Structure 1
Amino acid sequence: MDIVRRNNVTVTGNPRGPTVVLAHGFGCDQNMWRMTVPALAEEYQVVLFDYVGSGRSEPSAFSEGRYGSLAGYARDVVEICEALCLRDAVFVGHSVSAMIGGLVAGMAPKSIGALVMVAPSPRYIDDDNYRGGFSTEDIDELLASLESNYLGWSAAMAPVIMGNADRPELGDELKNSFCATDPDMARVFARATFLSDSRDDLKHVAVPTLVLECAHDVIAPRGVGTFVHEPVHGSTLVTLDATGHCPHLSAPEARNEAIREFLAVLG
């Protein structure tokens, strides 16, 4: 299958500039970056895509065997990079895509030259001295609710994930994005996301990396950003004055400025 069609790949911005790849999180699609693209498009070539099972990707390409782990999504990104002949691109990954980006950088070192991890979490479940924000029982309940009543789960969880209760339109947008995703495909992506443990992968990240955490985030609480930052040699940690797990919607100016400053340093 044509990879561009499979992942609904869009290329915009300055074709003569360095390339930035924007990767969405669980239950979302490339439209979530609409307030980021204008901030980058003048200087950078911007590549957007939808993971298989999300957005306007090709549903017939979905396979539970391939997409039951983060490695399957990472392989798709590698194939996108190869199809577009990308070299030294900056991969900007939101939420679970931050960890997918770490895998991609190891799988395709010539394609990915730097990472921006937005609200990353290498493991959502608490473990000994590690605080991911959820107990095993929390995640089991979350997944059971998602699988039994996906639309109800979306309506209940979207405002919690988004935060910003005083701006209900943001939670509504995330809910609508969740509800537009096929429930069976969302179930597979959710298990790959919330049951993942990418902590050991962090020590293998060998490219310049910016870690962006939010000051108040129930999905990736404070402390997780530091955990991601510490094993990645030479990485930079920035705490955004933002609430919720989706700063590209709730605090786009602050998030865009942090990314631009990082890109400027890269040259």
Structure 2
Amino acid sequence: MSVLKRNNVQVLGSGPATMAFSHGFGCDQSMWRFVAPTFEGRYRTVLFDLVGSGGSDLASYDYTKYGALSGYADDVLEVLDETATGPVIFVGHSVSATIGMLAALRAPERFAANVMVGPSPSFINDGEYHGGFTRADVEELLETLENNFLGWSSTMAPAIMGAPEQPHLRDELVNSFCRTDPDIAKHFARVTFLADHRAELSRVSTPTLIVQSDDDFLAPVCVGEYMHRTIPGSRLAIVRNIGHCPHLSAPSASVDAIEGFLHEVIGDDA
């Protein structure tokens, strides 16, 4: 099967450089609809679904390959090989921010910049590191998901989205979670919430922007500040937003942060 079909790749826009957008857990590429079109006039924009999500080929989901985020990083590089000729600006939300980082560490020449929206290298508290949850919290979350996937989705999705003044977005995320194959979602959740990629942060050489909501229970501000301190030369943009999805609930602020970063880092004045 071609990479383009496997990952349901959509190529839009035009321009000499490419921007690729990758979604978070329980989501799909439609979550970028308020951000990606802003860049279509001057970039070739690439949207895709992680295998197991959205319109991807579910039969391609390999529980061994995707037992670590490195499996998704491999896919990202394959998607870029098919859709881009030069270094790419990669925009990843949540777990995809980490996936993009891992891909850039493997092939730094393929990346002009990384934009990490609501990232977390580890959700679990460890000594002085505060990821937002204890190990017991995460295990309880995963156990609840295992036992009652639809109930977990209906409870967690609104908490993750936040956006108290935009209930339609909370409903959208609930529906997105509930459309995901339960077995794949359970596996991907365990990989996502138990991952720890703090050790890789100091090795990052790609220009990096961290876009952090100022009120996000899943990835609190202290996580963004930790990443900013640890990733050499990174920028941190904290946007006013309740929830983990500022690209949906605060798209203008998110776009402004990305635009400012691109202007500073690669001289994009368009």
Q: Same fold (TM over 0.5)?
A: yes
Contact 1:19–1:47 (CA under 8 A) maintained in structure 2: yes
Letter in 1 for 2:45: V
What are the Cα deviations for residues 134-171 of structure 1, in whole angstroms up to 9, with x where unaligned?
11111011101111111111000011111122322111
Alpha-carbon distance between aligned partners in 2 of 1:165 and 1:20, rounded to the nearest angstrom? 30
TM-score normalised according to structure 2 size:
0.96
Alpha-carbon distance between aligned partners in 1 of 2:13 and 2:46, rounded to the nearest angstrom? 9
1:42, distance to aligned residue in structure 2 (A): 0.7
What is the SS of the residue equivalent to 1:194? helix
Identity %: 50
What is the SS of the residue equivalent to 2:105? helix
Residue 137 (structure 1) aligned with residue 136 (structure 2): yes
Q: Report the more deviating stretch, 121-130 or 164-173.
A: 164-173
Residue 32 (structure 1) aligned with residue 31 (structure 2): yes
What are the Cα deviations for residues 27-52 of structure 1, in whole angstroms up to 9, with x where unaligned?
00000001112211111111000000
Contact 1:105–1:113 (CA under 8 A) maintained in structure 2: no
TM-score normalised according to structure 1 size:
0.97
The residue number in structure 2 matching 1:13 is 13
1:215, distance to aligned residue in structure 2 (A): 0.4
Contact 2:19–2:43 (CA under 8 A) maintained in structure 1: yes
Task: Tell me how many residue pairs correspond in the alignment.
Answer: 266
Alpha-carbon distance between aligned partners in 2 of 1:45 and 1:258, rounded to the nearest angstrom? 20
The residue number in structure 1 matching 2:248 is 249
Alpha-carbon distance between aligned partners in 2 of 1:175 and 1:64, rounded to the nearest angstrom? 24
Greater than 4 Å deviation, 4+ residue runs: none
Contact 2:16–2:43 (CA under 8 A) maintained in structure 1: yes
The residue number in structure 2 matching 1:81 is 80
The residue number in structure 1 matching 2:4 is 4
Alpha-carbon distance between aligned partners in 1 of 2:46 and 2:62, rounded to the nearest angstrom? 24
Alpha-carbon distance between aligned partners in 2 of 1:34 and 1:165, rounded to the nearest angstrom? 20
Alpha-carbon distance between aligned partners in 1 of 2:118 and 2:105, rounded to the nearest angstrom? 20
What are the Cα deviations for residues 69-102 of structure 1, in whole angstroms up to 9, with x where unaligned?
1001111001111122442101111001111111
Q: Report the more deviating stretch, 24-33 or 222-231.
A: 222-231
The residue number in structure 1 matching 2:40 is 41
Contact 1:125–1:131 (CA under 8 A) maintained in structure 2: yes
Letter in 1 for 2:33: R
Letter in 2 for 1:13: G
The residue number in structure 2 matching 1:61 is 60
The residue number in structure 1 matching 2:102 is 103
What are the Cα deviations for residues 223-263 of structure 1, in whole angstroms up to 9, with x where unaligned?
10011111211111111011100001110000011111212
1:204, distance to aligned residue in structure 2 (A): 1.1
